[in-house]
Amino acid sequence: MNVLLSDWTTPFQIAPFDAISDGDFAEAFTIALAENKREVDAIALATDPATFANTIEALEGTGEALHKVLSVFYTLAGADSNDAREMLMRDFSPRLAAHSADYYANSALFARIKSLWNTRETLGLNDEQSRVLMLTHRSFVRSGAGLKGADKTRMKEILSRLAVLGTYFGQNLLADERDWFMELSEADLGGLPEFAIAAARAAGVEKGVRNPVVTLSRSIITPFLQFSPRRDLREVAFNAWAARGANSGDTDNRAIADETLALRHERALLLGYDSYAAYRLEAEMAKTPEAVEKLLMDVWEPARNRANADADILGRMMHGDGINGDLQPWDWRYYAEKRRKIEHDLDEAALKPYLQLDRMIEAAFSCATRLFNLQFKPLDVPLYHADCRAWEVTRDGVHLAVFIGDYFARGSKRSGAWCSAMRAQAKIPQVQTPIVINVCNFAKSDPALLSYDDARTLFHEFGHALHQMLSNVSYESISGTSVPRDFVELPSQLYEHWLDVPAVLAEFATHADTGAAMPQEMLDKVLAAANFDMGFSTVEFVASALVDLDFHRGAAPENAMARQAQVLANLGMPAAITMRHATPHFAHVFTGDGYASAYYSYMWSEVMDADAFAAFDEVGDAFDGGLAKSLQDNILSTGNSRDPEASYIAFRGRLPGVEALLKGRGLVD
């Protein structure tokens, strides 16, 4: 039997990666897809009257084999891709889209769900069951279950094409990031700290060249832009970074973006909405494009004012170096790093040895132990790459989850950082504990050293992992991170705050060579500089979110790049700052619809996370037991079992305003 379809006898039924080959996927996918269709058809065509148990709960129990296959495949395709996996992804994506479209277009199944919805008051459902029924019915309606004839056919065509476009967009971006690198001579290394030189040499070995190289991995290019005094080389590297997905040829994403936006708008019109943003945001906390725009513009003005003031300072520093002309995007990070050293006497090259990857993992685990009484025990199991590590997560000796960490950058891994559940928590139709993976792109060295932003990323993704691991609901469809997009970032962004707790840094920020704790003076400087350059980071994020919103708010632009330029001009975008994610490499928005017209959600969640951590500040204890229990019970364990506003109010007593965010970012006094 195909190993992907067999019973896994590994510890905690972790995928037996050492026994799985790329040749297993096609057969297993085809078999599992057909099995899932039979499961759904059996429910849809049942002759018994619809009940919650024989329809909604029965649907919750379908697709186990398909999920097993896809959880392994998409883990590998994102974190360790190769030509075979990319080809398989191009095959699987449209077939999955067609399968999903058939599922939501199943009129017999929808009739059963609709009958339950129409009689919901008589079914005697508990609150969680009522929520699952509502969400199931809503997902069918929003997926076009009510469409007929040509409209129904066209919707299936749109969804299939969008799946293909999203796959190509992501693969094109990976190809551009993987294929470009710039060789450096020994003289070109001048001014770079040892950690950056070591990363460049290791990257050269990976690329098969004799010299150190700069790649488009964020963990390599960002330090190069921060520290290299070679303005000419910074310009080359930055332009390559900015041009990802827009290099003409086979990997150009610009036409893909145009077609994607047009198809999304057509999809929204078929469903009766006047724009994709109106359709997309209806099911989020924000509800409307107008609410999103208000939040973003409330932040934009103070952020732009701060960034413009900072640009004047950095420009004068550049002119002091004898460089005429305007500050450019490839200059900002270099002079910002110089300014940080002057104003805060904080040198990242001196700081980084105190931020060892292993110690920061320990710090994230320790905070979870103190807050939620979790224990982490290393697991010796085969994983998909030698860089991966696994831990069993327990509480008082009871197994809760498996956590996998894949931390280092490599050419086969897409950029960024993410968390996914290879298996989600559920109790019905059977108890299953989660298997959760964090994937990051840190520079590999010995020992592995992080920037402060890297350490923050590690805590962020572990916050997502906690959301999965502490889930305690009955149904997989509402467990863990299966919440509105503008709520899902709350646990992750909230967990970042524990990195800034002085006691945490004092214990775990120890020097890689000496083992000495970070000196109090340096610790004070790190915390004092927490909001340094916040105008820059806020502007690059909000600009991306506003462009995303504009793309989806009305009729689709014929030329997304022209529309992007128009939006930025109307905003008065500072000339020396670019969008964090320009259209051709805006993977959040164009590799799928998860963040489409919803990139704002990081900031919506930040409004809540700033206010939520303030609760711990108010009691003077970052590890207050009562607040930690309330956080677990009302947010981390509830998944989507109730409205997220209700969950937040249950924890904090009210909804927050934008003031906490502006204050937390240091954008207002």
SS (H, E, C) 484-540: CHHHHHHHHHHHHHHHHCHHHHHHHCECCCCCCECCHHHHHHHHHCCCCCHHHHHHH
Percentage above 70 pLDDT, the chain: 100
| pLDDT tens-digit map of 643-657 | 999 999 999 999 998
The active-site residue, picked from 177, 348, 461, 540, is 461
Q: What is the spatial distance between Cα 44 and Cα 50, in angstroms, rounded to a whole number?
A: 9
| Amino acid, single-letter form, for residue 488 | V
- Pair 543, 579: CB distance under 8 Å: yes
The pLDDT, as a whole number, for residue 59 is: 98
Q: Is the pLDDT of residue 343 over 80?
A: yes
Q: What is the mean pLDDT of residues 237-244?
A: 97
Confidence of residue 394 (pLDDT cuts 50, 70, 90): very high
> pLDDT tier at 119 (50, 70, 90 boundaries)?
very high
**Catalytic (active site) residue 301:** no
d(CA 412, CA 78): 8
Least confident of 28-32, 403-407, 518-522: 518-522
Q: Which tokens in the block code for residue 368?
A: 């979870």
**Quick one: pLDDT at residue 387?**
96
Task: Compute, in degrees rounded to 10, the torsion defined by CA atoms 151, 156, 157, 159.
Answer: 120
251-298: pLDDT as tens digits: 999 999 999 999 999 999 999 999 999 999 999 999 999 999 999 999
CATH 1.20.1050.40 boundaries in the chain: 3-146
- pLDDT at res. 638: 98
Cα–Cα distance for residue pair 543/300, rounded to 1 Å: 8
pLDDT of residue 445: 87
pLDDT the model gives residue 349? 87
Give CA separation, 460 vs 10, 199, 360, in Å: 29, 23, 12
Position 346 scores a pLDDT of: 87
pLDDT tops 90 at residue 446: no
Query: CATH assignment of 353-513+602-664?
Result: 1.10.1370.40
Q: What is the pLDDT of residue 534?
A: 95
| pLDDT score for 23 | 97
Every domain of the chain with CATH number 1.10.1370.40 lies at 353-513+602-664
Q: What is the pLDDT of residue 347?
A: 86
> What is the pTM assigned to this prediction?
0.93
Which strand (E) or helix (H) includes residue 181? Answer: strand 181-183
Mean pLDDT, the chain, whole residue set: 96
Closest to 409 in 3D by CA, of 216, 638, 623, 597: 216
What pLDDT does 96 receive? 95
Structure tokens at 370: 């103190």
Q: pLDDT (tens digit, 9 = 90+) per residue, 40-59?
A: 999 999 999 999 999 999 99
- Please determine, for residue 669, whether its predicted confidence score (pLDDT) is greater than 80: no
**Please, which pLDDT band fits residue 668 given cuts at 50, 70 and 90?**
confident
Tokens of residue 26, six digits: 């096609």
**pLDDT of amino acid 130:** 98
Give the model's confidence band at 194: pLDDT under 50 very low, under 70 low, under 90 confident, else very high.
very high
Q: Please report which confidence band the pLDDT of residue 660 belongs to, taking 50, 70 and 90 as the band edges.
A: confident
Average pLDDT over every residue of 323-350: 94
* Average pLDDT estimate for 583-591: 97
Residues 15-26 have pLDDT tens digits of: 999 999 999 999
For residue 664, the model assigns a pLDDT of 84
Instruction: Tell me whether residue 52 is exposed, middle or buried, using C-beta atoms within 10 angstroms of its C-beta: 0 to 12, 13 to 18, 19 or more.
Output: middle
> How far apart are alpha carbons 170 and 453 in whole angstroms?
24
Gap between the Cα atoms of 166 and 592, Å rounded = 5
The CATH H-level (homologous superfamily) assignment of domain 3-146 is Endopeptidase. Chain P; domain 1 (1.20.1050.40)
pLDDT digits (tens, 9 = 90+) for 596-616: 999 999 999 999 999 999 999
Confidence band of 486 (pLDDT split at 50, 70, 90) = very high
Query: Which pLDDT score is estimated for 10?
Result: 96
Nearest Cα neighbor of 137 from 149, 125, 147, 145 is 145
The pLDDT tens digits for 356-371 are 999 999 999 999 999 9
Is the model's pLDDT at 348 over the cut of 90? no
Residue 321 is predicted with a pLDDT of 97
- Give yes or no for a contact between 444 and 412, defined as CB atoms under 8 angstroms apart: no
Taking residues 72-100, report their average pLDDT.
96
Inform me whether the pLDDT recorded for 189 exceeds 80.
yes
pLDDT at 663: 87
CA proximity to 255, closest of 378, 169, 174, 127 = 169
3-state secondary structure of 630: helix
